A and B are shown apart, each in its own frame.
Chain A
Amino acid sequence: MNLTETQDQRALRDQARGFLERRYPISRVAALADGDGFPRQGWEEIAELGWTAIGVSEGSGGAGLGFAEEAVLAEELGRALFPGPFLATVILALPALAADLELQKEVAFGRAPATLAWAGPDGAFETDRFPVGVGRGARRHHLYGSTWFVPDLALAEIAVVAGEGSQGPGVWGVRLGGDGVSRRDLPTIDATRRLGALFLEGAEGTLLAEGEAAVELLDRIRDRVLAALAMEAVGVASTALEMAVQHARTRAQFGRPIGAFQAVSQQLAEAYVEVESARSLSLWAAAEVASGHGDRYRVAAAAKAFATEAAVRTCERAIQVHGGMGFTWEHPLHRFYRRAEWILAFMDRPTGLRERVAASLLDPAEVSEGDG
C-alpha cells in the first residue's frame, strides 16, 4: 500500500492552500455567505487555475490527472470552507459531460459552472427511480419533472439531469438558460453551499448516457461524491480542530491556559484520533475511486460515514472548547459546523451508508474467512 502524496499532488495542495488563504480568508467567506453568495466571476478565477480541467484527458486539453488530485482539492477547499461550485461542477457534473465534447469544453475551459440534478423531493439518489421523465415520440429528449437538492443550482449554467428515458435510465445535459426551465432556491443550513430545486417542463436535453451506461455513470458519480465529501469533511474537521487547539493554548482561565486541563486536552486528543482515522479512510477511498476498483462503493460509503460523523463531532468539540465565543454568530466555527452537517446529510446519511457496508458483510451466502 502506498498512500504517500506524489510530487504533483503536493504541489497542487500547496497551490490551493496558498490561493485560498489569499483570496478566500474566512472573513470573506463569511461575508459572501451572509450576502449574495459566491460571485460568478470568482469561478472564472478558479477555471484559470486549471482546477476544472484536472480530470479531463490531456488529449482534450486537460491536465490528464484523476480523482486522486481532485480529492486533494476537495480536502483543501473544505479546509478553507470555499464557497464556490467545485463539488457541483467538477465532482458531480463533469464526468457526465465527457460524452459531449461541446458541453465538456464549456465547463472545463469556458468557465461555465454546472451541476447535477438527480434526487427528487425525498432527497434520495437512486438508479431505479427518477423524478424526471422524457416526452413521447419526437419529443423524447424533452424533459419533464422536478428535482431537488441540486447543489449550487443558482450559479449553474448547465445541469446534468438524471431521469427515466425511453430506453430505461438516462442522463442528459440541459442548458439552464433555455425554455422549459425554472428554478428555486432552497434555504440551506450552510449558506456557502446552497441548494436549489429545478423544474423542467419540456426542457431540451442532450443525451449523454442511456440504459446500463447511464446507471454505471451515475454509480461512478455517486462514488466520487462520497469519497470527495469524505475528503472535504477531513478538511473541515482539520480547521475546526486547529482553531480549538489554538484557543486552548491561549485562552487562560483560573490562571492557566485551558488546554492544560485534561477535561479539555483529552477531548482535543480524541478529536485528533478521529480526524486522523477519517483521513486514513478518505485517502483509501480516494485511491479506490481513482483506480476504479470493484470495492470502491463500499470503501467510499464507509469513509463518508466515518469522516462526516468525525467532522460534526470535531466541530461540536471545538464549539464546546471555545465556550461562549463558540456560540456566537461572529465566530466562524458555526460555519464549519454547518458545512459538516451539510456534508453528512447529503446523498446518504451514515446509517444508510453503514447499512450498505453491513449488507456486504452479512448477507452473502458465504463469508470468506480472513478477507481484508
Chain B
Amino acid sequence: MDVRDSPDEAAFRVRLRTWLAENLPEGWGTPGFAEPAGPEGLAFRKDWSRRLYEAGFIGLIWPRAYGGFEAPITHQAILMEELGRAGAPDHASPIGLGMAGPAILAHGTEEQRRRYLPRILTGEEVWCQGFSEPEAGSDLASLRTRAEIDGDDYVITGQKVWSSFAHDADQCILLARTDTAAERHAGLTYFILPMHARGVEVRPLTQITGEAEFNEIFLDGVRVPAANVVGEPGQGWTVAVTTLMHERANLAVMLTVRLDHALNRLIALARSTRRGGRRAADDPMVRDRIAALWTDIQALRVTNARAMETIASAGVPGPEGSIVKLVWADANQRLTKLALDIEGPYAILSGGEHAIQDGLWQRLQLRSRGNSIEGGTSEILRDVIAERILGLPRSR
C-alpha cells in the first residue's frame, strides 16, 4: 500500500504545475478577473483548450493515432486534481472529452475516429449530449425521438432536454429510436448529429437558480448521414452505457476536486463569519459538520484512487466507483446547506452590497439540488447497486 505519487507520477505533477503557473491567464483567480461570457467566453475556452493540448495535457490516455499520448490512467487523475487545485478554466468540450470521444474510440469507425477525435482534444469542436427527453428521464430507454432511414440519410424528429453546451455546440451525441417494433433498449441507435444542420433548434432552459446552464433541443426532420451512426443501428444503448462506465472514474476525480475547493471556501466563510460574538468556526455543531464533510471528501478521494487501480489492473471499472456519485451529491448538498446555516439571517439575501459574497452560497445551495438528479438520480444509482452489486432481485 502506498498513498503517495510514484516517481513518474510526481514528475508529471511537477511538470503540470509548472506549466499551469506559467500559462494560466494573467490575473486568473483574482477577485477582479472575470472570465469572459458569451461568444468571447467560447473563444477564450477554445484558446485555453488548444494550449493545454499543445502542452501535452489533453488526451493523456487516448491512442497516439488520434492525437493522444497513451499515458498511464493515473496521469489523467493527476491532471484533474491539478486543474481543480489551480481552479483552471474549463476545457471547451467536456462532453467531447468525457463522453463522445470514448464512445467513438470504442465503437466508432476508423473514419469517424480520424474525423472527430483530434478536434475534440484541441477544443476546436464543442459537443453536447442529446439523451434525456421530457418523457424519458430515469427511464431513458423509453425515449421517443425517431430516426427513420431515407436513402443514405436518417431523418430525425423529436425533442431533447437537459443538454448543457448545446447553444455553443458543433456536434451532438444523440440517442434516437430507429426501430419501433424492437424491445425498448434494442430499438435505439447512437448518432453524431451536426448541430448546425437544418431543423435543429436550441432553446435555453431556465433552471431553479434563475440561470440557464442547460438547453432544450428541438429536432424537426433533421437529415443525418447514415455514416454518422456510432456502432451498429440498434446498438445505441450498449454504446451509451459502456462508454459512460469508463468515463465515470474521470468525472469522479473532477467532482471530488471541486468539492474539496468548495470545502476550502466554506472553511474561509466559517472563519470570517461572526455570530453572537464568536466565530462560526468556534461553534461545536459547525465544527462537527465541517469535519464530517472533510472526512467524506477524503473517502471520495481514496475511493477514486481504488477505482483507478481497478481499471488499471483489471481493464474494467470495479464496483467501488459506483458509490462516488451518490456520496458526492449528498456531501455537496450538505456543504451548501451548512454555508447557509453559517450565514444565519444573511442566508435570505441573494445579492447586492449586504449579501455575503454576492449571494454565491444561495446560488450554490439551489444548484446542489440538481446533484442528486443529474447524471442518474440517487434512487436509480442505488437501484443499480442493489441489483448489480448486491445481487438483489429486480424491483421493476
Contacts and interface: CB of A to CB of B under 8 A. Distances in A.
Nearest to A295: B3
B391 interface: yes
Given A262-B383, A354-B295, A369 B264 contact: yes
Interface in A245-291: 245, 248-249, 256-257, 259-262, 265-266, 268-270, 272-273, 276-278, 280-281, 283-284, 286-288, 290-291
B3 A273 contact: no
Interface stretch (B109-117, B208-216, B299-307): B299-307
B295 A269 contact: no
B303 A276 contact: yes
Contacts of A260: 392-395
Contacts of A266: 379, 382-383, 386
B28 interface: no
A372 B259 CA distance: 11
Contact of B295 (A287, A290, A305): A305
B21 to A, nearest CB: 13
Interface string B48-75: 0000000000000000000000000000
Q: At the interface, is chain A mostly helix, strand, loop or mixed?
A: helix
A327 B290 CA distance: 35
Given A305-B295, A361-B291, A287 B2 contact: yes
Given A1-B2, A284-B3, A370 B264 contact: yes
A355 B299 contact: no
Contact of A273 (B87, B284, B306, B327): B327
A361 B298 CA distance: 13
B390 A268 contact: yes
Interface stretch (B92-100, B196-204, B265-273): B265-273
B253 to A, nearest CB: 11
B305 A268 contact: no
A48 to B, nearest CB: 27
Contact of A3 (B87, B297, B306): B306
Contacts of B385: 269, 272-273
B124 interface: no
Contacts, number: 169
B18 interface: no
A242 to B, nearest CB: 9
Interface residues of A, number: 55
A332 B298 CA distance: 33
Nearest to B387: A265
Given A259-B393, A273-B326, A354 B288 contact: yes
Interface size, B (range): 35 or more
Interface in B362-393: 379, 381-383, 385-387, 389-393
A268 B393 CA distance: 12
A280 B392 contact: no
Given A273-B326, A302-B291, A2 B386 contact: no
A256 B300 CA distance: 35
Contacts of B391: 245, 249
B179 interface: no
B313 interface: yes
B168 interface: no
A357 B291 CA distance: 6
A369 B262 CA distance: 11
Contacts of A269: 381-383, 385-386, 390
B278 interface: no
B296 interface: yes
Contacts of A259: 386, 390, 392-393
A358 B392 contact: no
A284 B270 CA distance: 28
Interface string A1-12: 111111000000
Contacts of A372: 260, 297-298, 301
A357 B294 contact: yes
Nearest to A371: B264
A265 B309 contact: no
Interface string B322-336: 010011000000000
B307 to A, nearest CB: 10
A281 B281 CA distance: 25
Contact of A281 (B295, B390, B394): B295
Contacts of B6: 2
Interface in B252-266: 260-261, 264
Contact of B299 (A280, A290, A361, A371): A280
Contacts of B381: 269
A286 B297 CA distance: 18
Nearest to A249: B392
B85 interface: yes
Contact of A1 (B260, B291, B305): B305
A280 B303 contact: yes
Given A256-B393, A265-B386, A354-B291, A302 B309 contact: no
Interface of B: 1-6, 85-87, 260-261, 264, 267-268, 270-271, 281-282, 284, 287-288, 290-292, 294-303, 305-306, 309, 313, 319-320, 323, 326-327, 379, 381-383, 385-387, 389-395
18 contacts: A1-B2, A3-B306, A6-B1, A269-B385, A273-B323, A273-B327, A277-B299, A283-B306, A287-B3, A291-B3, A351-B288, A354-B295, A357-B294, A358-B291, A362-B271, A367-B264, A367-B267, A369-B264
Interface of A: 1-6, 68, 245, 248-249, 256-257, 259-262, 265-266, 268-270, 272-273, 276-278, 280-281, 283-284, 286-288, 290-291, 293, 299, 302-303, 305-306, 351, 354-355, 357-359, 361-363, 367, 369-372
Given A3-B302, A3-B306, 11 more contacts: A4-B309, A249-B393, A257-B393, A268-B386, A272-B385, A276-B320, A286-B1, A354-B291, A362-B267, A363-B281, A370-B86
3 smallest beta-carbon distances between A and B, as pairs: A358-B287, A354-B291, A269-B382
